[in-house]
Amino acid sequence: MRILVTGGCGFIGSNFIRFALNQNPSDVLINFDKLTYAGNPANLADVEKAHSGDRYFFCRGDIADRSEVLAVLEEYRPDAVINFAAESHVDRSIHNAMPFVTTNIVGTQTLLEACLAAGVERFVQISTDEVYGSLGPTGKFSEQTPLDPRSPYSASKASADFLTAAFYHTHAFPALITRCSNNYGPYQFPEKLIPFMFRQAANNQPLPVYGDGLNVRDWIHVEDHCRGVWLALTKGRPGAVYNFGGDAERSNIEVVKRILQIMDKPETLIRYVKDRPGHDRRYAMDFSLAARELGFSPVHAFESGLAETIHWYQNNPEWLDSIVSGAYLEFIKQWYAKDQRL
């Protein structure tokens, strides 16, 4: 199978390409990525070395640019397309939503149109639990939960989901959607909670916990998410939506304290700061449909997975240095200075 992955130089896309190359030896992976601030070719340096020009091809391009998308489809003629490409950080969407509309909505529509015209046989739209909104203290999101996105990021992802579903219903385009909870693992961009807190602690800088620190996320190891996407690609029903979760609900403060413990750093580094506007309180995923239809279940336990992840960041300082650009530092400075977060 020839599989085109968009956003393959990001956190989950790069882990997915590595995962997929270890499945069927005859499969070929094409990575189409714009290389935004979050896209880092170094995430795939090992893959590039082992498979470039043979089972792995990189093509720089923008999913919102019709001619670039048509060109990559024409050149590589993939059987399947998996759309990981996105603006993915909620805080950035609060700061400036327009890139989220351009990539997540216009980009997905552009990709869908081109893939339909090219006769792509399977399309997987990578979505998020955030499209369902926010939970109270009990209950879980199922695929039947009405969409109720509350940040510009999740609103743009929900729009992409609706467009994908519309292509299935209107054009019988063989698309399906996967929705996953918070990922952690190697190669995550250091604006997200776990690598950001790691970097702050490593530099003995304050760890800014939003609000009361009791917001809950359901953490899944990125490798478990990749396995879910692979199962959806190879066994999923066109038109279906599949939830994936890690069965690991933790409050933010629990996660931050655990990171400090693993790093042997003091809890006095923690600062409770002004909350994220519109901060969703709790996410939890019912993934029984994926368990039943795809045989999905997460295998990584959160505590050991988190320790391994922190050790990976400790052992790869050059990776962290390579991804920390001027543009990234400028955003971090502006965001955390706002409302005296830091």
Binding site for ligand NAD (CB under 6 A): 6-7, 9-13, 33-36, 38-39, 62-64, 84-86, 88, 103, 107, 126, 128, 157, 180, 182-183, 189
- Choose the one of ligand DAU, ligand NAD, none that binds residue 68, judging by a C-beta under 5 to 8 angstroms depending on kind: none
Contacts of 242 (CB under 8 A, 6+ apart): 143, 176, 177, 178, 179, 228, 232, 236, 287, 289, 290, 293, 294, 296
Site residues (CB under 6 A) for ligand DAU, limited to 233-262: 252
Closer Cβ to ligand DAU, 182 or 309, answer by number: 182
Which is closer to ligand NAD, CB of 8 or CB of 208? 8
Angle of helix 302-315 relative to helix 193-202, nearest 10 degrees? 50
Pair of tokens at residue 129: 């639990």
- Asked if residue 179 lies in contact with residue 244, where contact means CB atoms within 8 angstroms, the answer is yes
Sign of the four-CA dihedral 107, 227, 162, 77? positive
The single-letter DSSP state of residue 79 is S
Please check whether residue 12 is in contact with residue 225, taking contact to mean a CB–CB distance below 8 angstroms: yes
Distance of closest approach, residue 85 Cβ to ligand DAU, in angstroms? 12
| By the rule CB under 6 A, 88 interacts with ligand DAU | yes
Nearest Cα to 124, choosing from 49, 204, 236? 236
- At closest approach, how far in Å is the CB of 335 from ligand DAU? 9
Could you tell which of ligand DAU, ligand NAD, none binds residue 141, using a CB distance below 5 to 8 A set by kind? none
Cβ-based neighbours of 232, under 8 Å, separated by 6 or more: 124, 176, 178, 242, 290, 294
Q: Which stretch binds ligand DAU (CB under 6 A): 53-61, 67-75, 192-200, 233-241?
A: 192-200
- Given 68, 91, 129, 223, the catalytic residue: 129
Among 217, 221, 250, 300, contact with ligand DAU (rule: CB under 6 A):
217
Chain residue whose CB lies nearest ligand NAD: 10
Give catalytic status of residue 37 as yes or no: no
Is 65 catalytic? The answer is no
The residue among 250, 242, 322 whose CA lies nearest residue 42 is 322
130 catalytic per annotation: yes
Q: Which of 44, 193, 248, 262 binds ligand DAU (CB under 6 A)?
A: 193
Binding mask 278-317 for ligand DAU (x = CB under 6 A): -----x----------------------------------
190 binds, among ligand DAU, ligand NAD, none (CB under 5 to 8 A by kind): none
Kindly give, in sequence order, each residue whose CB lies less than 8 Å from that of residue 259, ignoring residues fewer than 6 positions away: 194, 197, 198, 201, 306, 310
SS3 58: strand
Q: What angle do CA 10, 15, 21 make, to 5 degrees?
A: 125
For residue 213, how many other CB atoms are within 10 A of its CB? 17
Minimum CB–partner distance for residue 249 and ligand DAU (Å):
12
> For residues 15 and 215, which CB has a smaller minimum distance to ligand DAU in the complex?
215
130 contacts ligand DAU (rule: CB under 6 A): yes
Task: Write down the least CB distance from residue 243 to ligand DAU, Å.
Answer: 11
Least distance from ligand NAD to the Cβ atom of residue 114, Å = 13
The overall longest dimension of the chain from CA atoms, in Å, is: 57
Q: Which of 33, 130, 161, 223 is catalytic?
A: 130
For residue 232, the minimal CB distance to ligand DAU (Å) is: 16
Q: Give how far Cα 145 sits from Cα of 149, 241, 250, 288, Å.
A: 12, 11, 22, 14
Give the integer Cα–Cα distance in Å for 23 and 320: 28
Chain residues binding ligand DAU by CB under 6 A are 88-90, 128-130, 181-182, 192-193, 196, 208-210, 215, 217, 252, 276, 283
Question: Which sequence positions are flagged as catalytic?
Answer: 129-130, 153
